[in-house]
Chain A
Amino acid sequence: MPNATTILDARAMGRTLRRMAEEIVELNEGTDHLIIVGIQRRGVQLADRIVKIIEERDGVDIPRGALDITLYRDDLQTVGPRPVVGPTDLTWNLEGKRVVIVDDVLYTGRTVRAALDELADFGRPSRIALAVLVDRGGRELPIRADIVGKTITVAPEDRVDVLVNELDGRDAVVVVRRDAAEATR
């Protein structure tokens, strides 16, 4: 049986998202031309939370979008879990905008690579930044996040699950460790 360790509970996750929201505004020197784009699936809910925090604090409307990168993946041919394609919702003109991509976990960097390719097909933002709730290391591409909620080090066979209330019934970040028997299988 895999055992799970909670590394952020609901309150800690709320605090982390508030800090990330602050850093996003700081990085972009305000909220002008800012667009926040969540990556399907749980990046979308996190982006919603961050947008809400900024809107409530600064009394502005922040445009937000959702990106499904399934069709831009580089591993359609490899045998692996192939996610069902989710909706992409980017009705904004990205020309000259400051886009912040929000995802739940940064791991190999391949999702971000795909997201950058997809965004390029929607226009030419003046700058694209990356904000992730958890950076778990293990990059396979030269990609880094501009804003990180929490950095952790876990073994490759471990799984980092971000749970959001909207989809999972509660907010938490959980590391699921596989025991030795399962890991060596």
Chain B
Amino acid sequence: MTSALGKDLLALEPLTPEQIRLILDTAEPFKEISERAIKKVPALRGKTIVNLFFESSTRTRISFEFAEKRLSADTVNVASVGSSVQKGETLVDTARNLEAMRIDMVVIRHGASGAARFLADRIESNVINAGDGTHEHPTQGLLDILTLRDHFGDLAGRRICIVGDVLHSRVARSNIWGLKKLGAEVAVCGPKSLLPWGIDEFGVKVFKRVEEAIEWAEALNVLRLQLERMQAGYIPSLREYNRVFGITHERLDRAPRDILILHPGPMNRGVEIDSDVADGPHSVILNQVTNGVAVRMAVLYLLAGGRPELAESAKASAPGAER
């Protein structure tokens, strides 16, 4: 049985705009569950989910775990450190062994682009990509889009600029695919060394100067500058980066309009974003975190059951639908 999304959620690139909207619309009622005194519904009771994290993560792992627990699934966390992965077990052997213990879903984060797809092709369980190399981080893209939609409503024609290390960012790729499918105008801005070659083929605008991006955009998604990039020679120094590309209060004050500020976290305050911007009135950075749980609940719920054509017909919500 395949769900409205198929067996897995590996990337936003292959999804249709309708599938993206279905996830976002399903996430809406899930927001309320986290506000209840008893933050739990039985929808995934009896499902077993393994969170397989080969790269460090706080926010994403905890967010997935909350989403799973609030849907009543049973969860197991496996980190590469302290597991048989350290003894040299291959990814597929790890997953097959887990599957032999009868699990239903795997949430995987891995340093290699394509790791989630590799796994999904080889096991029966549903696979959710929680970030693979520099490829995609679909649930982060979805929660960014949900946060933008909360603010703007329809995203068609809205101007959103992704600022910073686009080259290494799976978040940027998921954002670009998802936002464009919903009709938004997307731009990127960053030092040339941190923009991928051929970026214009994604159909995005490219700004070389952050001032131009601020002039144009209605929302900025500020990416984390991965500090290890400095050693690799992509940028001269952190101070230099902040001076030329940092999102500062002074720069935003010169904008022709209020600009919504997003950041996928963890932030380097004083590098890609200044504290007074991150904590300022137009920042929705903590809304993103709250929305992350709702979006992940929606994805888990949709992958767990249902068929696309039925989900569609249920959406029409004809009177006399099954009671």
Number of B residues contacting the other chain (C-beta, 8 Å)? 33
- Chain A residue, CB-CB nearest to B306: A82
Question: Contact at B37–A122, with CB atoms within 8 Å?
Answer: yes
Question: Contact at A71–B42, with CB atoms within 8 Å?
Answer: yes
Question: Contact at A84–B25, with CB atoms within 8 Å?
Answer: yes
Question: A161 and B319 in contact (CB under 8 A), knowing A71-B41, A79-B1?
Answer: yes
Give 26 CB contacts A-B under 8 Å: A42-B319, A71-B42, A71-B43, A71-B301, A72-B41, A72-B43, A79-B1, A80-B310, A81-B310, A81-B313, A81-B321, A82-B305, A83-B322, A84-B22, A85-B30, A86-B29, A87-B28, A87-B32, A88-B33, A117-B42, A118-B41, A121-B41, A122-B36, A122-B38, A159-B320, A176-B320
Instruction: Say which size band chain A's interface belongs to.
Output: 35 or more
In the complex, whether B26 has a CB less than 8 A from a CB of chain A is yes
Interface 9-residue window, one of A10-18, A23-31, A104-112: A104-112
Question: Contact at B310–A163, with CB atoms within 8 Å?
Answer: no
Query: Closest Cβ of chain B: how far from A77's Cβ, in Å?
Result: 6
Bound Cα distance A84, B27 (Å): 10
Q: Which of B27-71 contact A (CB under 8 A)?
A: 28-30, 32-33, 36-38, 40-43, 71
Bound Cα distance A82, B1 (Å): 14
In the complex, whether A162 has a CB less than 8 A from a CB of chain B is yes
What residues on B are CB-neighbors of A159 within 8 Å?
Answer: 320
Q: Pick the residue among B30, B304, B310, B317 that contacts A76 (CB under 8 A).
A: B304
- Chain A residue, CB-CB nearest to B309: A81
Question: Contact at B29–A88, with CB atoms within 8 Å?
Answer: yes
Instruction: Name the prevailing secondary structure of the B interface residues.
Output: loop
Question: Contact at A85–B29, with CB atoms within 8 Å?
Answer: yes
Question: Contact at B29–A68, with CB atoms within 8 Å?
Answer: yes
What residues on A are CB-neighbors of B25 within 8 Å?
Answer: 84
New A-B pairs, 5, CB < 8 Å, besides A85-B30, A87-B32: A79-B1, A85-B26, A105-B323, A121-B38, A161-B319
In the complex, whether B315 has a CB less than 8 A from a CB of chain A is yes
Query: Closest Cβ of chain B: how far from A89's Cβ, in Å?
Result: 8
What residues on B are CB-neighbors of A56 within 8 Å?
Answer: none
What residues on A are CB-neighbors of B321 within 8 Å?
Answer: 81, 83
What residues on B are CB-neighbors of A68 within 8 Å?
Answer: 29
Query: Closest Cβ of chain A: how far from B31's Cβ, in Å?
Result: 9
